[in-house]
A and B are shown apart, each in its own frame.
Chain A
Amino acid sequence: MEVEGRKVYSVRAFNSGVARYLNKLPTLWIEGEVTELRRQQRWASVFFTLKDPEDGACLPVQMPRGQFDALDLNLAEGERVHVFGRVELYEQRGELRLKALTIERFGLGAHLAALEQLKKKLAAEGLFAADKKRALPRYPRLIGLVTGNDAAAKKDVVTHIVQRFPPANILVAETYVQGHRAPASIATAIADLCRRGADVIVLARGGGSFEDLLPFSDERVVRAVATCAVPIVSAVGHEQDTPLCDLAADVRASTPTAAARLVVPDIVELRERLARARAGLHRGARNAAQRHVQRLDQTHERLRRAPLLALERKRARLDTLHGKLGTLSPTATLERGYAIVRRADEVVRNASQVSTGDPISVRVAEGTFGATVE
């Protein structure tokens, strides 16, 4: 219609024009999370909103109830699906929506395959290497705890840490622990705690569905854990869960309670160990002193005896010499009647040594007498 030279469309005509235009767009597969699912017995259609898990962009979806029920998917909030459909305009309200022809659960299989691929890639980069694992500090000064704001996991970890080691200092960073905002917020929290002086970090989250724990396998979180400036403990989910952050962490704890046992020493045990060490110290010092005393006593005893022993040995040597002297002396010969003749202290061996009138001394076995040479 034409009003004052202007071409004007009625809303109805406009909407139906747009609808016709949109109908030319191809039928596509779209991936997203199911939210706001509305299904009622008296409604001809089932409605839900498909949400982008990365940035939260939304797309309304409609599907005839009969078709939806026939798929028998039993979809829950937050489940990731692939929807095959075509965009259309709900002309009555001028609203754009996706008319679903079929829905497939983006299954565990697809998730696992994606995870497996990421795992291989990060492993090839060395993020999970055993030689990268660091030992946790024995006596942490400041423990950083990354956890959900109302999580039972937080209470669990804090309670057990304080029970085991009352003087522990804990700095808690509350983050989203599921949904599309979780990965970035967890990665930021880890870096933040490092900056604020934590010397060990615990990443804790209680159990949850496979999808709930997906943020802990997100590449951003895994990289944040792997490059964390201080040792980090991953305490995510239960024993059977293995999110990728477990592989990148220095230590994995199967539960938040186990994490507490890893990061702080048991104060009771610590006291006992100290007491034992002190007792050992006293014992050791006493024994060492005792050994010195014994050794000194022995040396003293040796010192006491040594001079007498030395003297005795010298006397014995002297006696031996004296004995030898005896065998060498001429006494025995004199006993047999020989005499030693001396002239002026010189032993006379030759008659030419003396002249008539010389005084001589004669030594016999018993005594000495004088004589004159004739």
Chain B
Amino acid sequence: MTFEEAAAELEQIVARLERGDAGVDELTKLWERGEELYRICAEKLEGVQGKIEELARSTQTDDQSG
């Protein structure tokens, strides 16, 4: 699942919960699924951010050595 897919499904779930047309029995399931999607997105983002910072650090090192 890509970040975009997970984020899109998460948005859908939140919108549905906010509209209030979900059945009571569904509420818990939707919420759990939403949290799961949030975790997937957050992990992916953290990974990307980490890589960007790492790259920025390594190119700065290039400049100092070269």
List chain A positions with a Cβ less than 8 A from chain B.
278, 282, 285-286, 289, 292-293, 295-296, 299-300, 302-303, 306-307, 309-311, 313-314
Looking at chain B's contact residues, is the secondary structure mostly helix, strand, loop, or mixed?
Answer: helix
Select B42's contact among A285, A296, A306, beta carbons within 8 Å. Answer: A296
Extra inter-chain contacts (6) besides given A299-B10, A314-B20, CB under 8 Å: A286-B52, A286-B56, A293-B49, A299-B11, A310-B20, A311-B24
Q: CB-nearest residue of chain B relative to A302?
A: B14
List chain B positions with a Cβ less than 8 A from chain A.
3, 7, 10-11, 13-14, 17-18, 20, 22, 24, 27-28, 30-31, 34-35, 38, 41-42, 45, 48-49, 52-53, 55-56, 59
Task: Give the docked Cα–Cα distance between A152 and B28 (Å).
Answer: 86
Task: Give the docked Cα–Cα distance between A286 and B35 (Å).
Answer: 25
Task: Give the docked Cα–Cα distance between A307 and B32 (Å).
Answer: 10
Interface CB pairs A-B, < 8 A, 30: A282-B52, A282-B55, A282-B56, A282-B59, A286-B49, A286-B56, A289-B52, A293-B45, A296-B41, A296-B45, A299-B10, A299-B11, A299-B14, A299-B38, A300-B42, A302-B14, A303-B31, A303-B34, A303-B35, A306-B17, A306-B34, A307-B27, A307-B28, A307-B31, A309-B17, A309-B18, A309-B20, A310-B17, A310-B22, A313-B20
Known: A296-B38, A296-B45. A314 touches B24 (CB 8 A): yes
* Cβ distance A370 to chain B, nearest Cβ, rounded Å: 41
Is A300's CB under 8 angstroms from B52's CB?
no
Looking at chain A's contact residues, is the secondary structure mostly helix, strand, loop, or mixed?
Answer: helix
Residues of B within 8 A of A289 (CB): 45, 48-49, 52
Task: Give the docked Cα–Cα distance between A318 and B9 (Å).
Answer: 30
Is A302's CB under 8 angstroms from B27's CB?
no
* Cβ distance A312 to chain B, nearest Cβ, rounded Å: 10
* Cβ distance A311 to chain B, nearest Cβ, rounded Å: 7
Residues of B within 8 A of A306 (CB): 14, 17-18, 31, 34
- Most chain A beta carbons < 10 A, residue from B24, B52, B53: B52
Q: CB-nearest residue of chain B relative to A284?
A: B52
Residues of B within 8 A of A296 (CB): 7, 38, 41-42, 45
Known: A289-B45, A300-B38. A310 touches B52 (CB 8 A): no
Residues of B within 8 A of A293 (CB): 45, 49
Residues of B within 8 A of A292 (CB): 3, 45
Is A278's CB under 8 angstroms from B31's CB?
no
* Cβ distance B60 to chain A, nearest Cβ, rounded Å: 10
* Cβ distance A348 to chain B, nearest Cβ, rounded Å: 40
Select B27's contact among A286, A295, A299, A310, beta carbons within 8 Å. Answer: A310
Known: A303-B14, A307-B30. A285 touches B20 (CB 8 A): no
Task: Give the docked Cα–Cα distance between A313 and B28 (Å).
Answer: 15
Residues of B within 8 A of A314 (CB): 20, 24
Q: CB-nearest residue of chain A relative to B11?
A: A299
Q: CB-nearest residue of chain B relative to A303?
A: B34
Q: CB-nearest residue of chain A relative to B32?
A: A307
Residues of A within 8 A of B27 (CB): 307, 310-311
Task: Give the docked Cα–Cα distance between A313 and B19 (Å).
Answer: 10
Residues of A within 8 A of B11 (CB): 299
**Complex A-B, nearest 7 residue pairs according to Cβ-Cβ distance, in ascending order:** A306-B17, A303-B34, A307-B31, A302-B14, A289-B49, A285-B52, A307-B27
* Cβ distance A313 to chain B, nearest Cβ, rounded Å: 5
- Most chain B beta carbons < 10 A, residue from A286, A292, A309, A313: A292
Residues of B within 8 A of A310 (CB): 17-18, 20, 22, 27
Select B13's contact among A282, A285, A295, A303, beta carbons within 8 Å. Answer: A303
* Cβ distance A10 to chain B, nearest Cβ, rounded Å: 92
Residues of A within 8 A of B56 (CB): 282, 286
Q: CB-nearest residue of chain A relative to B35?
A: A303
* Cβ distance B49 to chain A, nearest Cβ, rounded Å: 5
Is A302's CB under 8 angstroms from B18's CB?
yes
